[in-house]
Amino acid sequence: MSRKLLFFVAVFLVTLLAVPGAAFCQDKKNKWALGYRYSYVDADDADFKTHGNAHDLIVGYELTDNFAVEAEAGHFRLKSKSGTGLDVVTAHASLQLRLPSGKFVPYLSGGAGWMFYDYGTLYADDEKDNRNSFSYKAGAGMDFLLTEKLAFGGEVSYVYGNTGGGATLDVYHWRYGVGFKYYF
- What percentage of the chain reaches a pLDDT higher than 70? 69
Indicate the average pLDDT of the chain. Answer: 80
pLDDT for 21 equals 39
From residue 42, give the alpha-carbon distance in Å to each of 55, 76, 173: 14, 11, 5
Quickly list DSSP for 144-160.
Answer: EESSSSEEEEEEEEEEE
pLDDT band, residue 27 (cuts 50/70/90): very low
pLDDT for 112 equals 95
pLDDT at 171 over 90: no
CB atoms under 10 Å from CB of 70, counted, come to: 22
Beta bridge partners, 77, equal 87
Give the span between the Cα atoms of 22 and 51, in whole angstroms.
Answer: 38
| Percent helix, strand and coil across the chain, each to the nearest 5 | 10, 60, 30
pLDDT tens digits along 57-69 = 999 999 999 999 9
Pick the closest to residue 178 from 33, 54, 39, 34 (CA basis): 39
**Structural domains in the chain plus CATH codes:** 2-15+31-183 (2.40.160.20)
pLDDT tens digits along 145-159 = 999 899 999 999 999
Is residue 140 a contact partner of residue 107, using CB atoms and an 8 Å limit?
yes
pTM for the whole thing? Answer: 0.76
